[in-house]
Structure 1
Amino acid sequence: MKLKDIFLLCILANNMDFEKLLEERYSKETIHSIATFLVEHPENLNSYLQLIETSEAGTSQRAAWALGHAGVMDKTLLIAYLPNLIRLLEKPRHDSVARNIYRILQFLDIPENFEGIIYDLCIRDLLDPKQPIAVKCFGMTTAFNICKKHVELQPELKIVIEENLEDASAGYKSRARKILPKLKSAEF
């Protein structure tokens, strides 16, 4: 661990509030340190998720970035917080909130009682022309992972992906090229 990381973790351990840290020391190192702190101290996740939900868009964006890193560092960390993540996806304060939540969700084995709402949110965002490409790509993977368990959803996802393919960005097309063949042939 780098000296900067140790310093930032000490600041956090002494109850410096996340919002102030994200505003005053916003950097890649700060984001990594907060993510590490959240993984090592998951008891702080409730207040951290509240910060994402209620803070100004810029702070919410930065906080979501750190949450995304924490979720990738520990794939099981946020399973207990799926209701919070769903609420954040329903009305994200900033595009990066949705992007980072979908980034986390694409790696999770989503419990069955949350699959329906998460799948619906993925489809909503895939159909929304205003959504950034990263939100669509991570949402596409998340929806596909749900389709692995619920084969009856495959035709809908295939149609939604293909509807957007013609005018899509290179990133969207690349992700679609990986997912569509698996949907068509049902190879899981």
Structure 2
Amino acid sequence: MNLKDTLPEYNSQAETQRILHWIDGSPQHFAELMDVFFDGNTRKNQYAAGIMIHCIDRWDFLITPYIEKLILNLRSDGLHDAIKRNTVRVLQNIEIPEDLHGILAEICFTYLSNPTEAVAIKVFSMTIIDNLTQFYPELKEELHFILEEQFPFQSAGFRSRAGKILKK
């Protein structure tokens, strides 16, 4: 299957299941999905991002070769929220190579501090930063400051995750 040509532009549960069945843990098939994910900024990229999440939920080992590219892609201008959201969602649950910690922390602090950023992107970013505080305890102070500052003005989802992090 040539996923780049056959992936529809709009999300369909049946199509998602068909693609997941085709990928079935195959690194080669997953590579085709990731080619679509990284190819520009279209509806197909957004749809590929959603399928990527389903794949990583089932076969988390597939994402390892793409960690650096995922993080560096977050520095791209004009990324759609779906790309950012699904990327940080994946990154919050995997081990990040040490040489990428600084870049990722910078990106996540930028998302977290941006008043116009979508709530889900902020929530996943705060989790990533919280994960990084295991290696860099000095990040806790800055994270707590931002969370406390934004806490009264954010959504219930933000406050729930922030509350759990602040209690630690």
What band does the TM-score fall into relative to the shorter chain? 0.7 to 0.9
* Alignment correspondent of 2:165: 179
Quote the residue 1:42 is aligned against.
27
Aligned residues: CA RMSD:
2.0
C-alpha spacing 1:39/1:157, structure 2 compared with 1 (3 Å): farther
Structure 1 residue 153 and structure 2 residue 139: aligned?
A: yes
- Provide the C-alpha distance between the structure 2 equivalents of 1:123 and 1:141, rounded to a whole number of angstroms: 11
Q: How far apart are the structure 2 equivalents of 1:110 and 1:95?
A: 22
Aligned partner of 1:30 among 15, 27, 51? 15
Q: Is the 8 A contact 1:122 1:140 kept in 2?
A: yes
- Among 56, 81, 86, the alignment partner of 1:71 is 56
**Identical pairs, percent:** 31
Q: Which runs of 5+ in 1 are unaligned?
A: 1-14, 183-188
Q: Match for 2:151: what amino acid?
A: L
Task: Choose the corresponding residue for 1:103, options 89, 114, 118.
Answer: 89
Asked if the contact 1:36/1:70 (under 8 Å) is kept, the reply is no
| C-alpha distance 38-113 of structure 1, shift in aligned 2 (>3 A) | farther
TM-score, length basis structure 1:
0.79
Asked if 1 retains the 8 angstrom alpha-carbon contact of 2:50 and 2:86, the reply is yes
The Cα of 1:56 is off from its aligned counterpart by 4.3
Q: How far did residue 176 of structure 1 move?
A: 0.4
| Cα-to-partner distance string for 1:47-94 (whole Å, 9 max, x where unaligned) | 433322324431111111111221222233212211210122112631
CA drift at 1:37:
3.8
Matches within 5 A, 1:85-164: 85-91=70-76, 93-164=79-150
State the AA in 2 paired with 1:102: V
Partner of 1:53: 38
CA distance change for structure 1 residues 174 and 45 in 2, over 3 Å: closer, same or farther? same
The alpha carbon displacement at 1:128 in A equals 1.1
Q: What amino acid sits opposite 1:138 in the alignment?
A: F
How far off its partner does 1:19 sit? 4.5
Equivalent residue number for residue 186 of structure 1: none
CA distance in 2 between counterparts of 1:42 and 1:138 reads 26
TM-score by length of 2: 0.88
Q: Evaluate the alpha carbon distance shift between residue 87 and residue 32 of structure 1 in structure 2; reply closer, same or farther with a 3 A threshold.
A: farther
Structure whose CA Rg is larger:
1
CA distance in 2, matches of 1:157, 1:31: 36
